[in-house]
Amino acid sequence: MMMNEYQLETIKRRLSTIKKDSPFYGKKFADVDLSEVVDQEGFEKLPFTDKADLRDCYPLGLAAVPEKDIVRIHSSSGTTGTPVIIPYTQNDIDDWSIMFERCYRMAGLTEYDRIQITPGYGLWTAGIGFQSGSERLGAMTLPMGPGNTEKQIQFMTDFHSTALCATSSYALLLSEEIKKRGIKDKLALRKGIIGSERWGDKMRNRIASDLGVKLYDIYGLTEIYGPGIGISCDYANGIHLWDDYIYFEIVDPKTGKNLPDGEVGELVITTLLKEGAPLIRYRTHDLTRIIPGNCPCGSRFPRIDIITGRTDDMVKVKGVNMFPAQFEEVLSETDGPESEYQVMIDHLDGKDILTLYFETMVPDSEWEELEKEVQERFKAKVGATIKPKAVNMGDLPRSEKKTSRIFDNRY
């Protein structure tokens, strides 16, 4: 996607003082002459910023303003212990709520709505982001926080909440409870704003119908404001991102090279206006693609696809990038395979071979045909030829923990 003039000018202005403002970028760009970044091509040569870099900045090493200008911190938990701390100025907080208000408006909400917020509050950005956006919109805000399903349902009923903000898993839990009690008719819910975890169409449709709402995917990450930097629209065909606050790119996670629109890769974000902790070319590790063309909703904001996975799960075989969601999709679209699968990648006689083991209950006399069908569907969808192998139910290892189903034996 082309960087527009506003983005280029804003980035150039940001870069002109970033070494002086931010000790972190002073060090990172020590050997880079930022005045040479005059166009998109030059920008794409700048080194990436990764989460590990931010962790090394603990506690306040990311700050790019004097301490007196920091009004709040948020933190994203890492898997490795040391938290990442993001300092915010008042302008950052305001910008975040402006973006969040836009999200609500994109979902058709107004000051007449009553917004029930179930994501968590605290160092984590979720709850408070949903709240400040709702207040800025002028809606009645119910800052419930997570859990206590009994009270959630009571407030939802008594206060006629019209919108529910939740993670997909909590929305599912609430929808099941509401269905069980048969109280859907007592509710005034019409919209669900769902934090963008990875979730399948089956789950989405179930929540939508059990709650009687239209669902919207909201996107964001704590390092870049928090949730609210983009949301899907009525057409549910991708997530519009607010590209006047962030500049985004899709790169090949293995090579770091920018990819053409439409190709799946890693989402990389640059903040345009953030003061407290500006980030240049931040690797989100989220896999998605830019959706080319205009959205029928008429919004001028560009779209990315629903997040399809994390870069850590991706493998490259025969020059084609593949990730778990694609295997899951093909198996679930085909009659016969069950949900358990395992992928083995080997290098034999100078060639990469990808074997997709899947469990099935159909008699083994039909396996050959089933394997062929999976192979054809995968080829049509992803563009690579794989070797599907049917196995009996229970033949693949089970694990309590979320373990990788992809085993790369090439290296």
Question: Least CB distance from residue 236 to Zn ion, whole Å?
Answer: 9
Question: Least CB distance from residue 214 to Zn ion, whole Å?
Answer: 13
Contact between 297 and Zn ion per CB under 5 A: yes
**Single-letter residue type at 88:** Y
The token pair at 30 is 């020590």
Q: Where are the alpha helices (DSSP H) in 198-347?
A: 201-211, 324-333
- CA distances to 148, 170, 171, 237, 379 from 201, rounded to whole Å, are 27, 16, 14, 12, 22
Contact criterion met (CB below 8 Å) for 117 and 131: yes
- CA distances to 21, 122, 209, 289, 291 from 265, rounded to whole Å, are 31, 32, 32, 6, 12
Question: How far, in Å, CA of 363 to CA of 275, rounded?
Answer: 62
Question: Least CB distance from residue 76 to Zn ion, whole Å?
Answer: 28
Question: Least CB distance from residue 242 to Zn ion, whole Å?
Answer: 13
* Binding segment toward Zn ion, per CB under 5 A, in 33-41, 51-59, 138-146, 295-303: 295-303
Contact between 32 and Zn ion per CB under 5 A: no
- Answer for which of 63, 70, 218, 295 binds Zn ion (CB under 5 A) is 295
Contact between 236 and Zn ion per CB under 5 A: no
The token pair at 405 is 């189903």
- Nearer Cβ to Zn ion, position 153 or 291? 291
* Binding segment toward Zn ion, per CB under 5 A, in 65-73, 149-157, 274-282, 293-301: 293-301
Site residue total, Zn ion (CB under 5 A): 4
Q: Which helix (H) or strand (E) holds 246?
A: strand 246-251
Helix (H, G, I), strand (E, B) or coil at 39: coil
The token pair at 183 is 């109280």
- Nearer Cβ to Zn ion, position 149 or 237? 237
Contact between 291 and Zn ion per CB under 5 A: no
Question: How far, in Å, CA of 225 to CA of 172, rounded?
Answer: 26
Question: Least CB distance from residue 218 to Zn ion, whole Å?
Answer: 14
* Binding segment toward Zn ion, per CB under 5 A, in 88-96, 146-154, 232-240, 272-280: 232-240
* Binding segment toward Zn ion, per CB under 5 A, in 144-152, 200-208, 220-228, 294-302: 294-302
Contact between 115 and Zn ion per CB under 5 A: no
- Nearer Cβ to Zn ion, position 104 or 282? 104
Question: Least CB distance from residue 244 to Zn ion, whole Å?
Answer: 16
Contact criterion met (CB below 8 Å) for 196 and 217: yes
- Nearer Cβ to Zn ion, position 106 or 163? 106
- Answer for which of 233, 241, 290, 386 binds Zn ion (CB under 5 A) is 233
Contact between 128 and Zn ion per CB under 5 A: no
Peptide bond preceding 59 in cis form (omega within 30 of 0): yes
Question: How far, in Å, CA of 72 to CA of 97, rounded?
Answer: 14
Contact between 57 and Zn ion per CB under 5 A: no
- Nearer Cβ to Zn ion, position 233 or 277? 233
- CA distances to 25, 29, 255 from 20, rounded to whole Å, are 8, 11, 30
Contact between 140 and Zn ion per CB under 5 A: no
**Single-letter residue type at 147:** G
- Nearer Cβ to Zn ion, position 226 or 238? 238
Can you give the binding site for Zn ion, defined by CB under 5 A?
A: 233, 295, 297, 299
